[in-house]
A and B are shown apart, each in its own frame.
Chain A
Amino acid sequence: MELLALRGITKRFGATLALSDADFDLRSGEVHALVGANGAGKSTLSRIISGHVQRDRGEMLLEGRPVRHVGAREAIRDGISMVTQETSLAPDLSVLENIMLPRLAMPGRLRWRELRARARELIAELGQKAGLHLDDPVSALSIGQRQLVEILKSLALGSRIVIFDEPTASLSPHEAERLFDIVRALAASGRGLIFVSHRLEEIFAIADRVTVLREGRVVAGNLDTAGLSQGELVRLMVGRELGDIYARTGPADAARGPVVLRVRELCCPPRVRDVSFEVRAGEILGLAGLVGAGRSETLETIFGLRRPVSGSIELNGKPFAPHAPLDAIRAGIGLIPEDRRGQGIVPDFSVRENLLLAHLGAHRGAGLGYGQRTQGVEELLETLGLPRHRLLDANMLNFSGGMQQKIILARWLVLAPRLLLLDEPTRGVDIGTRGSIYALLRRVAAEGVACVVVSSDFEEVIGLTDRVVVLSDGVSVTDIPSRLVDIEKLGMFAAPRSSAERTHGVLEGLVSEHGGVAYWIALEGGRLFCFDRVGEDAAADPGFAAGGFPELGQTRIAHAVPAREGVATAADGGHPTVLVPVLGRRGHSLGMVGLTLPRLRPGFDAAALRRHVIAELGSTAHAA
Chain B
Amino acid sequence: MSMTTEPEIRRRWGGGLLRLLATQIELRMLLLILAVMLGLSLASPYFFTVSNLLNVMDQSVVVGMVALGQTLVILIGGIDLSVGALAGVTGIILGLSFPSLGLVGGVAACLGAGAIAGFVNGAVITFGRVAPFVVTLGMMSIGRSLAYVFSGANSIGNLPPELGLLSSETLLDIPLNFWCLIVAYALCWGFLTYAKGGRTLYAIGSNPEAARVAGLGIARWSIFAYVVSGVMSAVAAIFLASRILSIDPIGGTGLELDAIAAVVIGGASLFGGRGSIIGTLFGVFIMVFIRNGLNLLNVSPYWQGTAIGSIIIAAVLVERVLSGGRGRA
Contacts and interface: CB of A to CB of B under 8 A. Distances in A.
Interface of A: 13-16, 18, 38-39, 303, 305, 324-326, 328-330, 335, 337, 339, 342-349, 353, 357-358, 360-363, 365-369, 389, 394-395, 397-400, 411
B212 interface: yes
A360 B327 contact: no
B85 to A, nearest CB: 31
B1 A15 contact: no
Nearest to A398: B2
Interface stretch (B92-100, B173-181, B197-205, B303-311): B197-205
11 contacts: A13-B2, A39-B1, A325-B213, A344-B210, A346-B203, A346-B273, A347-B207, A358-B214, A362-B215, A369-B196, A394-B23
Given A346-B207, A394-B23, A398-B2, A360 B214 contact: yes
B209 interface: yes
Contacts of A389: 5-6
B12 A15 contact: yes
Contact of A366 (B197, B203, B209): B197
Interface residues of B, number: 35
Given A15-B8, A347-B207, A368-B195, A398 B216 contact: no
B212 A325 contact: yes
Nearest to A43: B1
B126 to A, nearest CB: 14
B196 A366 contact: yes
B200 A360 contact: yes
B223 to A, nearest CB: 15
Nearest to B197: A366
B217 interface: yes
A375 B326 CA distance: 31
Nearest to A333: B215
B206 interface: yes
Contact of B212 (A305, A366, A368, A399): A305
A14 B206 contact: no
A155 B231 CA distance: 58
A335 B213 contact: yes
B172 to A, nearest CB: 31
A305 B212 CA distance: 9
Contacts of B212: 305, 325
Given A16-B4, A38-B1, A343 B194 contact: no
Given A13-B329, A15-B329, A389-B5, 12 more contacts: A14-B2, A15-B8, A15-B12, A38-B1, A345-B210, A347-B206, A349-B206, A357-B216, A368-B194, A395-B327, A399-B1, A411-B214
Contacts of B5: 389
B296 interface: no
A117 B216 CA distance: 53
B21 interface: no
B297 interface: no
B321 to A, nearest CB: 15
Nearest to A361: B215
Nearest to B12: A15
Given A325-B214, A347-B273, A361-B216, A398 B203 contact: no
Given A14-B4, A15-B12, A16-B2, A360 B216 contact: yes
B23 A329 contact: no
B9 interface: yes
A363 B215 CA distance: 10
Given A325-B214, A347-B206, A360-B214, A368 B199 contact: yes
B193 to A, nearest CB: 9
B40 to A, nearest CB: 34
Residue from A13, A345, A389, A411 having most chain B Cβ neighbours under 10 A: A13
A14 B273 CA distance: 25
Contact of A16 (B1, B202, B205, B211): B1
B243 interface: no
Report, nearest first, the 4 A-B pairs whose CB atoms are least far apart: A361-B215, A348-B206, A326-B215, A15-B4
A619 B215 CA distance: 51
A343 B274 contact: no
Contacts of B171: none
B203 A357 contact: yes
A325 B203 contact: no
B195 A366 contact: yes
B196 A367 contact: yes
Contacts of B215: 324-326, 328-330, 358, 361-362
Contacts of A330: 215
Contacts of A342: 207, 209-210
Interface in B209-253: 209-217
Residue from A305, A343, A411 having most chain B Cβ neighbours under 10 A: A343
B12 A357 contact: no
Interface in B110-134: none
A226 B212 CA distance: 48
Contacts of B327: 394-395, 397-398
A325 B215 CA distance: 5
Contacts of A13: 2, 328-329
Contacts of A326: 215, 217
Contacts of B199: 353, 360, 368
Contacts of B207: 342-343, 345-347
Contacts of B12: 15
A325 B203 CA distance: 16
Residue from B210, B327, B328, B329 having most chain A Cβ neighbours under 10 A: B210
Contacts of B50: none
B3 interface: yes
Interface in B2-18: 2-6, 8-9, 12
Interface string B73-105: 000000000000000000000000000000000
Given A348-B274, A361-B215, A397-B327, A367 B195 contact: yes
Contact of B203 (A39, A349, A367): A349
Contacts of A397: 327
Nearest to A336: B213
Contact of B194 (A39, A346, A367): A367
A541 to B, nearest CB: 46
Contacts of B1: 16, 38-39, 398-400
Residue from A14, A368, A411 having most chain B Cβ neighbours under 10 A: A14
A138 to B, nearest CB: 23
Nearest to B207: A346
B196 A360 contact: yes
Contact of B213 (A15, A343, A398): A343
Nearest to B8: A15
Contacts of A325: 212-215
B209 A343 contact: yes
A478 B213 CA distance: 29
Interface in B263-287: 273-274
A347 B203 CA distance: 9
Contacts of B203: 346, 349, 357, 360
Nearest to B198: A368
B230 to A, nearest CB: 21
B214 A348 contact: no
B192 to A, nearest CB: 11
A325 B9 CA distance: 40
Nearest to A328: B215
Nearest to A343: B209
Contacts of B273: 346-348
A349 B204 CA distance: 11
B236 to A, nearest CB: 26
Contacts of A335: 213
Contacts of A15: 2-4, 8-9, 12, 329
Contact of A365 (B196, B206, B210): B196
A368 B199 CA distance: 8
Residue from A305, A335, A394, A398 having most chain B Cβ neighbours under 10 A: A398
